[in-house]
Structure 1
Amino acid sequence: MTKVIGAPPPEQPTPPTAAEELDQALAHAWIVAAEIKVEERVAKLADFRGSFTTVAGTRVDALEVYCRNCRRPYEDVAEDDCEALIDNRHLIGGDQTQRAKRKIPQPPSNARIVPGGVIQRRGIGAYVSGVSRPAR
């Protein structure tokens, strides 16, 4: 690096203040679920690698636009702050202490419960019996 005599020193970036950090934390990170028509060879590559490259000028149909952090749709929360760091209970179905407990169904009065056999879910026995491999 060369120094120029008499030149002012380069400006150092200033660290963000607490208010700026809070504004950044409350900002939405918008992402788009998209649909792109591709050829069979590109589809095969995308399936194998999990990504692919498109050519310039490819039109992309947006299926949904939502925030990556709070997972809420753009049209619902575009003017609001992101609530992912504040309160994320909406992702788990609300406040767990306020939700009703699951009801266990009662068998009919004339029903008799018969214990079933033991199902082997691990090991070679499970593989041979078809428990651990997908049905074709």
Structure 2
Amino acid sequence: MTTATAPLSPETGRSHLQESLFAWLAPEPAPSPAPEPPAPAAETKTLEEPAPEVPPAPPAPEQKPDLSHVWVVAAEIEVTPKIARVADFRGSFKTTEGQRVDALEVYCKGCRRPYDEVRGDDCAAKIDNTHLIGGDQSKRAKRKIPVPPANARIIPGGRINRRGIGAYVSGVSRPKR
């Protein structure tokens, strides 16, 4: 396969493509001053009624963040085997109209606390989410290392490779065959 190539000159080469890429870097021309409006020929005095003074508009109130709870219900619904299969596969399903639903628990979707505990309070998840991770991690007690029984003898084992392809082949991340 052969291709014909012509010698590139500045007029026919690629230089014209580069100009449009960097056109935005050129300084903008200074705007010309607007012409002044003509002066009024003669001022005539007329009696004008002064405009009534309008009080200044009150400052707009600051938008407070919405700290209200989003309530959800953990429910128990009896379904047919066909609907159960669809619900298991899709994660959702449709029920019949007028079906009675038993509420197992009512809680806030954000802070995961029961309705009766936090009914009148602001949602803690919208203020600070530390309650979901067990409080401040720097102040939490460290995990205790279990103490072996007095009559136990510890036998050191070999080094277990938990990373890389060696771990996959040796069965750490998947069951042995």
TM over 0.5: yes
Q: Structure 2 matches for 1:50-89, cutoff 5 A?
A: 50-89=91-130
The answer for the alignment partner of 2:80 in structure 1 is: 39
CA deviation string 1:69-101 (max 9, x = no partner): 111111111111111122222211222232222
Stretches of structure 2 lacking an aligned partner (at least 5 in a row): 1-59
Shift of the alpha carbon at 1:67? 0.8
Greater RCO structure (CA 8 Å; 6+ sep): 1
In structure 2, distance between residues paired with 1:61 and 1:19: 38
Q: Across the two proteins, how many residue pairs are aligned to each other?
A: 112
SS in structure 2 at match of 1:99: coil
Identity %, equivalent residues? 59
- Taking structure 1 as the reference length, the TM-score comes to 0.68
In structure 2, distance between residues paired with 1:108 and 1:72: 40
The answer for the alignment partner of 1:9 in structure 2 is: none
- Residue 19 (structure 1) aligned to one of 63, 77, 80: 63
The answer for the alignment partner of 2:137 in structure 1 is: 96
Stretches of structure 1 lacking an aligned partner (at least 5 in a row): 1-15, 131-136
Q: Are 2:173 and 1:129 equivalent residues in the alignment? A: no
Closer, same or farther: CA 36–120 of 1 in aligned 2, 3 Å = farther
Shift of the alpha carbon at 1:120? 7.0
The answer for the alignment partner of 1:12 in structure 2 is: none
In structure 1, distance between residues paired with 2:140 and 2:175: 42
In structure 1, distance between residues paired with 2:140 and 2:99: 46
Shift of the alpha carbon at 1:105? 2.2
In structure 2, distance between residues paired with 1:111 and 1:128: 29
Larger Rg: 2
- Taking structure 2 as the reference length, the TM-score comes to 0.54
Q: In structure 2, give the amino acid aligned to 1:85.
A: K
